A and B are shown apart, each in its own frame.
Chain A
């Protein structure tokens, strides 16, 4: 543990939607180049928490945050934070595959163009590399100019991951990325995550406990806005310290 290095840290993080206290005093350290799963029953705040890390909650009016969230050592709620840079560093994959209604190529270059520090010449290389990373290159290389909307759901979700990879982020947030996919596609996305963790830090929200057990290195269990337990996945699933955790992972509620 000591040799590892945390890339996201929260210190006494509280989040309110209006009067509703959605996250209560969360202290969490997410390790770099590991997969961390956030689990818990619906409404426990796991999606809210993952959306703190790229400040997507800002889109909701009446949201209020106290405490600190450090991403790569910088407090992202500090006034000088540039959201555009933050979201380039911290990419996100959503529950339903949401490729833009553009060609496959334009889906991948959108991020490059809005973050204009990439020169056009690199685009072809980056497109190829990011599609190779998600194992779509062979299928897609001859149809880059076709619309992304005709792909299968699994391919769309892979493309969404590739779209994030093209921006070369440090961290990838995944909000139930497999919930729209069938079991086989789900397994393949999990395999892909194992590949990706060599270069990226992944935080995945999942309601699927087998997925958390199979695919993650660390697991955080949230319940009613509180972080009940956090630790290595093998410990959480074999010898949880908290009774609530045990009840949840054995399927007694949730």
Chain B
């Protein structure tokens, strides 16, 4: 009997520990990734001061002496992301409202399936289509020397952010209790007043989360953006110029670096910057969600 209880206790203990371990696994992994990034990336700052890294205007990693200024890359990422957000947020929220509130059931099913399919398209395929169809159009419409521009990147990425925004925002809108709609309609509100002033307002924490996750996806996207933005590491003066993003830089150059070298460390430092940006976006979304809950 005594050994029985003992075994049972040990079993309980082991199971508890295993569950605990899987629970904290995601945190451990994030911490390990960040630690690894820091370890590989921080060595750069023995040679290059942080302010030079962030604010210097030239990214010439293989010239002699090399210059590691990521300002053009940051601006490239910001420009492409902001452009993608400007396009995808209104369209995404609009289509989420349409699917959730207006579309008849059949249309709704078809549209939801379409959005899911859009999410499932590999990014390299979207990039390929952007390169073959979108870039020539932009080139001829604006009379540019090349169609591979920040604008092409923004449009391509807007397509990638849209499914995230639509499906999460649609969930948030559908979750708004029926009683709110009933109350508004019984007060004489029109369909639009009900949808916009009550339903969309009630769903706005969820819609903000949708936008943040969409932007998070855009800022981390690499392949499609590398294929359509032209990859010129120059400070952009307009959205119609080629740009290079942080992610594309890491992906394009990692293969040519010497492990442990300065260039190698600089790419890891870019990783740290990306990590911090995503962390800030998520943090801002969390903060907002928390605030509106109160």
Chain A interface residues (CB < 8 Å from chain B): 54, 56, 59, 83-88, 91-92, 94, 96, 98-102, 110-111, 114-115, 160, 163-164, 167
Which of these, B183, B190, B201, contacts A94 with CB under 8 Å? B183
Does B189 lie at the interface of the complex (its beta carbon under 8 Å from any beta carbon of A)? yes
**Which chain A positions have C-beta within 8 A of B182?**
56, 59, 94, 98
Does B185 lie at the interface of the complex (its beta carbon under 8 Å from any beta carbon of A)? yes
Supposing A110-B197, A114-B193 touch, asked if A101 and B180 sit within 8 A by C-beta, the answer is: yes
- Judge whether B185 and A101 touch: CB under 8 Å: no
- Which of A98, A99, A102, A115 lies at the interface centre, i.e. has the most chain B CB atoms within 10 A of its CB? A98
Which of these, B180, B188, B202, contacts A114 with CB under 8 Å? B188
- Judge whether B201 and A110 touch: CB under 8 Å: no
Supposing A100-B198, A100-B202 touch, asked if A167 and B185 sit within 8 A by C-beta, the answer is: no
Supposing A110-B197, A114-B193 touch, asked if A98 and B188 sit within 8 A by C-beta, the answer is: no
Which of these, B180, B188, B190, contacts A111 with CB under 8 Å? B188
**Which chain B positions have C-beta within 8 A of A167?**
187-188
23 A-B contacts, Cβ less than 8 Å apart? A59-B182, A59-B185, A86-B188, A87-B185, A87-B187, A91-B187, A92-B186, A94-B183, A94-B186, A96-B179, A98-B180, A98-B182, A98-B183, A100-B183, A100-B201, A100-B202, A101-B180, A101-B202, A110-B189, A110-B198, A111-B187, A114-B190, A115-B188
The proximity string for B residues 172-200 relative to A, scoring 1 for CB distances below 8 Å and 0 otherwise, is 00000101101111111110010001100
For the complex, give the distance between the alpha carbons of A99 and B189 in Å. 15
**Distance (Å) between the CB of A62 and the closest chain B CB?**
14
For the complex, give the distance between the alpha carbons of A164 and B186 in Å. 9
**Which chain B positions have C-beta within 8 A of A85?**
188
**Which chain B positions have C-beta within 8 A of A88?**
187-188
**Which chain B positions have C-beta within 8 A of A100?**
180, 183-184, 198, 201-202
Supposing A56-B182, A96-B179, A98-B180 touch, asked if A164 and B202 sit within 8 A by C-beta, the answer is: no
**Which chain B positions have C-beta within 8 A of A101?**
180, 201-202
- Judge whether A163 and B201 touch: CB under 8 Å: no
Chain A residue nearest to B204 (CB atoms) is A101
- Judge whether B184 and A110 touch: CB under 8 Å: yes
The proximity string for B residues 157-180 relative to A, scoring 1 for CB distances below 8 Å and 0 otherwise, is 000000000000000000001011
What is the total number of residues of chain B having a CB less than 8 Å from a CB of chain A? 17
For the complex, give the distance between the alpha carbons of A102 and B183 in Å. 13
Which of these, A59, A96, A102, A110, contacts B187 with CB under 8 Å? A110
- Judge whether B189 and A114 touch: CB under 8 Å: yes
For the complex, give the distance between the alpha carbons of A254 and B62 in Å. 87
**Which chain B positions have C-beta within 8 A of A59?**
182, 185
For the complex, give the distance between the alpha carbons of A167 and B189 in Å. 12
For the complex, give the distance between the alpha carbons of A110 and B194 in Å. 10
- Which of B184, B188, B202 lies at the interface centre, i.e. has the most chain A CB atoms within 10 A of its CB? B188
**Which chain B positions have C-beta within 8 A of A87?**
185-188
